Amino acid sequence: MSLNAESTAFRSALEVIRAVEPRVADAIGAELADQRESLKLIASENYASPATLLAMGNWFSDKYAEGTVGRRFYAGCQNVDTVEALAAEHARELFGAAHAYVQPHSGIDANLVAFWAILADRVESPALKKAQVRQVNELTEADWFALRRELGNQRMLGMSLDAGGHLTHGFRPNISGKMFDQRSYGTDPATGLVDYDKVAEAAREFKPLILVAGYSAYPRKVNFRIMREIADEVGATFMVDMAHFAGLVAGKVFTGDFDPVPHAHIVTTTTHKSLRGPRGGMVLCGPELADQVDRGCPMVLGGPLPHVMAAKAVALAEARRPDFADYAQRIVDNAQALADGLLRRGAKLVTGGTDNHLVLIDVSGYGLTGRQAEQALLDSGIVTNRNSVPQDPNGAWYTSGIRIGTPALTSRGLGTAEMDATAELIHNVLTQTTPGSNPDGTPSKAKYVLDPALADKVSGQASELLTGFPLYPAVDLG
Ligand code: PLP
């Protein structure tokens, strides 16, 4: 029997790797097997296409290409130019952006590029001007001192971590929380929704240089038109980090006031979450910030990763196909079916539902911490992650929430009926898990009690649910 192209490609790749370090080849094979078997509900994960994966495994990985298309600090970058230009063109067309910078290695990098572009554009700092690219060697000690003084204490207003914002939006343990004098806006305690009047109030009082919107764990749409009006009123640069929902923007599920691109001065994203590309980041902006954004390398980034830019070009080309819009709509339909299924069974959800790709279960309703719930679900073949809920009494480590998302299962082909069945499995596990105690009898926030027979039964049911939806059906590793 002749093998299809995908099976031949991956089998051959593993054979070549196995000849050098068989344990790596085995681990790669085992990862596919694990992913095929688990009910993956991690909201930030997905399954990239074979073409996207294969575009990363080649000799582009060997190239240094600091600089930008046609203007490199290294010779011999003509082929890197081709893939970088293609990725940027697809990104511009897909999102309707004037400029796309596709070099960031990750979402964090994309945000740092954006922060520095905004600082360079907005802060009147002779030292900063010198620090840009070719003049960096001219900086004296006094310049560095001035740079730190001029740039430190710039103000950023972003969504708080426990309301669903991201670490890079000014949270203390992240560099953004150290670089900026930061303040955060939360959500309304009664509804769990962003209260735009409160955001405006905070902005008027704090007068941020940067207003950030975007989230990792907020299950609702954000009105970017209103956020832009707030930014304009106080003279802030409006930045949106659409890392989580870029696929919904690309698939035209989020349009009008909910599409960040026409409203924000600058938009950052990852390429590997709902967008379903390779791991990486990207920045979109208008012509005003384009030049500063293109200085991302070497200001913030090391050499770009040409093999990943090649994969970005492939994934963005896929996202421009008509079936991507169907996929994006199904992500939201599935999240809503999952939320409805959970609510009908009595779960407590932050904001009472969802209108994007994720659902945040407040597991205090089951008498559990997020840590206990996450592990009990994992024992039962359901992969999720714990997450803070607004005003979380259990902090960021134990948490009181479980975040679940539908991009990966949607890519796999599961639909609303399977989401209802998934809700049943989750509810079943969580209602039958009880908090455990420490050896001295005190209550533990980590330990839990779950009958292993039930965990096994649910694992079996989860696998059964997946049997009709094979992952990478064209890939047979033999
Ligand atoms: N921004 C948001 C909103 C995110 O959710 C994440 C990742 O979780 C990031 C940025 C960082 O992405 P990366 O892990 O690629 O650095």
- Give the pLDDT band of residue 135 (cuts 50, 70, 90): low
- What separation in angstroms does the CA of 319 have from each of 200, 276, 350? 35, 8, 30
- Minimum-distance ligand 1 atom for the alpha carbon of 242: 3
pLDDT per residue over 25-73, tens digit each? 999 999 999 999 999 999 999 999 999 999 999 999 999 999 999 999 9
Which secondary structure element, helix H or strand E, spans residue 402, and what is its range? strand 401-405
Mutate to test the pocket of ligand 1, among 112, 270, 272 (most ligand atoms within 8 A of CB): 270
- Nearest-angstrom CA–CA distance, 381 and 390: 27
Find the mean pLDDT for residues 290-310.
94
DSSP state of 433: -
Find the mean pLDDT for residues 156-184.
90
State the pLDDT at residue 80. Answer: 98
Peptide bond into 435 cis (omega under 30): no
What is the rounded average pLDDT for all residues in the chain? 94
Q: Can you list the positions of beta strands (E) in 407-465?
A: 434-437, 443-449
Q: Residue 317 has which token pair?
A: 């080309």
H-helix segments, 207-286: 224-234, 246-250
Asked if residues 126 and 138 have their Cβ atoms less than 8 Å apart, the reply is no
- Nearest-angstrom CA–CA distance, 454 and 456: 5
- Whether 153 has a pLDDT exceeding 80, the answer reads no
- Give the pLDDT band of residue 408 (cuts 50, 70, 90): very high
Q: Is the CB of 270 under 6 A from ligand 1?
A: yes
State the pLDDT at residue 120. Answer: 86
Q: Can you list the positions of beta strands (E) in 35-106?
A: 39-40, 67-68, 71-72, 99-101
- Whether 98 has a pLDDT exceeding 90, the answer reads yes
Rounded to the nearest angstrom, the distance between the alpha carbon of 371 and the centre of ligand 1 is 21
State the pLDDT at residue 140. Answer: 77
pLDDT: which is higher, 199 or 123: 199
Rounded to the nearest angstrom, the distance between the alpha carbon of 426 and the centre of ligand 1 is 26
State the pLDDT at residue 137. Answer: 66
Rounded to the nearest angstrom, the distance between the alpha carbon of 475 and the centre of ligand 1 is 29
What domains are defined for the chain? Answer: 59-123+154-319 (3.40.640.10), 322-466 (3.90.1150.10)
The proportion of the chain whose per-residue pLDDT surpasses 90, expressed as a percent, equals 88
The residues pairing with 443 across neighbouring beta strands, listed in sequence order, are 437
- Nearest-angstrom CA–CA distance, 47 and 419: 18
Question: Lowest-pLDDT range, 144-148, 156-160, 245-249, 272-276?
Answer: 144-148
Rounded to the nearest angstrom, the distance between the alpha carbon of 96 and the centre of ligand 1 is 22
Which DSSP string corresponds to 295-352?
THHHHT--S--HHHHHHHHHHHHHHTSHHHHHHHHHHHHHHHHHHHHHHHTT--BGGG
DSSP state of 144: H
Which secondary structure element, helix H or strand E, spans residue 386, and what is its range? strand 385-387
Q: Is the CB of 176 under 6 A from ligand 1?
A: no
Residue nearest to atom 12 of ligand 1 (CA): 107
Going by C-alpha positions, the residue among 161, 215, 151 that lies closest to residue 183 is: 161
- Whether 1 has a pLDDT exceeding 60, the answer reads no
pLDDT per residue over 364-404, tens digit each? 999 999 999 999 999 999 999 999 999 999 999 999 999 99
Radius of gyration of the chain (CA): 23
Find the mean pLDDT for residues 132-150.
70
* Residue 46 CB neighbour total at 10 angstroms: 23
First to last CA, the chain: 12
The residues pairing with 435 across neighbouring beta strands, listed in sequence order, are 448
State the pLDDT at residue 131. Answer: 67
pLDDT per residue over 316-366, tens digit each? 999 999 999 999 999 999 999 999 999 999 999 999 999 999 999 999 999
- Can you count the helices (H) and strands (E) in the chain? 20, 16
- What separation in angstroms does the CA of 300 have from each of 110, 121, 438? 9, 15, 45
Residue nearest to atom 2 of ligand 1 (CA): 243
- Whether 234 has a pLDDT exceeding 90, the answer reads yes
Q: Is the CB of 338 under 6 A from ligand 1?
A: no
Q: Residue 430 has which token pair?
A: 């969580």
- Nearest-angstrom CA–CA distance, 225 and 429: 41
Q: Is the CB of 44 under 6 A from ligand 1?
A: yes
Which residues contact residue 458 at a Cβ distance below 8 angstroms, ignoring those fewer than 6 apart? 380, 381, 382, 425, 428, 429
- Whether 129 has a pLDDT exceeding 80, the answer reads no
Going by C-alpha positions, the residue among 417, 416, 400 that lies closest to residue 347 is: 400
